[in-house]
Amino acid sequence: MNVTSAILITIAILFCTNLIGYIYTALILHTNLINDYRIQPKEYFARRFYKRFPLILFNLSILLSVGAVGVYLFYDILDFSTPTLGLFLFQLILIFLIDDLYFYFYHAALHTKFLYKHIHKTHHRSTMPIPMEYIFTHPLEWFFGAIGPFIGLAVIALFFPQINIYAFWTMSALRNLHELDIHSGIKSSKIVSAIPFYGTTEHHDLHHSKNRGNYASTFTIWDKIFRTEIID
Ligand SMILES: [Zn+2]
Ligand SMILES: [Zn+2]
């Protein structure tokens, strides 16, 4: 596969997952189909969300640009062949773990006084987030968060000659869908909650309502190890 096709598929994956996120958000704002399952029962005003929409779209353009430039820069070490299931799962989990550990320290740093006041406060204007507000952040915060998967690729490249593109694409899609889920404000299903160390919606929703603790995203293991977990 040539570099242009790889970039276009990456952009398509990122765009489509965000389109799903917008549809999910619109269902919450404009219908009552899933409102019975909300964690926080307060009313949400659509007008407030659409005021935030320009920044959300701007950050989406940053996300697509980082994805395109990242695939361009890492193209030479990307493997486009069909992987074995073992290699696929191993690299998928590794990219997730490295990105998530990076995100944990990054997010905890964003809660220090200076960075919170000047950068992270924007994201915390949502005390009761809805899906697309996962990307409602200061653009600088968004940029340094969006490079996480590529930090994962850079670390893996130290140990592996190549990284399978399907592991990377799957991670990119799941990462976005998970971010949409934990900002949805909709209660997690019992199946998802049963996955060990899985970062549930309740875990991150509590971070938004309390403004402290629960800095991890995909895996709660980091909050347990570094003793920053809050449960109520
Ligand atoms: Zn935060
Ligand atoms: Zn958040």
Tens of pLDDT, residues 88-133: 999 999 999 999 999 999 999 999 999 999 999 999 998 888 899 9
Residue 145 confidence (pLDDT): 93
* Portion of the chain with pLDDT greater than 70, in percent: 100
The pTM score is 0.88
Distance 164 CA to ligand 2 centre (A): 29
CA of 123 to the centre of ligand 2 (A): 6
Task: Judge whether 152 and 42 are in contact, CB under 8 Å.
Answer: no
Distance 26 CA to ligand 2 centre (A): 18
| pLDDT in the model for residue 29 | 87
Q: Which of 92, 99, 61, 67 is nearest to 3 (CA)?
A: 67
Split at pLDDT 50, 70, 90, the class of 32 is confident
Q: Kindly indicate the confidence band of residue 232, based on its pLDDT and cuts at 50, 70 and 90.
A: confident
Q: State in Å: Cα 87 to ligand 2 middle.
A: 31
Span from the CA of 163 to the centroid of ligand 2 (angstroms): 29
Among the bound ligands, the one closest to the CA of 204: 2
Give the ligand with the smallest distance to the CA of 126: 2
**Cα 30 to ligand 2 centroid, rounded to whole Å:** 22
- Cβ atoms 104, 216 nearer than 8 A: yes
Distance 73 CA to ligand 2 centre (A): 28
Integer CA distances (angstroms), 29 to 36, 47, 61, 105, 138, in order: 13, 10, 23, 33, 23
Ligand 2 centroid–CA 213 distance in Å is 12
157 CA to middle of ligand 2, Å?
Answer: 29
Going by C-alpha positions, the residue among 165, 136, 173 that lies closest to residue 12 is 173
Question: What type of residue sits at position 120?
Answer: H
Task: Determine the Cα–Cα distance for residues 39 and 202; give it in Å rounded to an integer.
Answer: 7
Q: Distance between CA atoms of 26 and 37, rounded to whole angstroms?
A: 15
Tell me which amino acid residue 30 is. Answer: H
Contact 164, 145 (CB under 8 A): no
Check residue 166 and give left, alpha or beta (phi > 0: left; psi -120 to 50: alpha): alpha
**Distance from the CA of 160 to the center of ligand 1, in angstroms?**
33
Ligand 1 mean position, distance from CA 213 (Å):
8
Cα(181)–Cα(37) distance, rounded to whole angstroms?
Answer: 13
pLDDT of residue 170: 96
Distance 159 CA to ligand 1 centre (A): 32
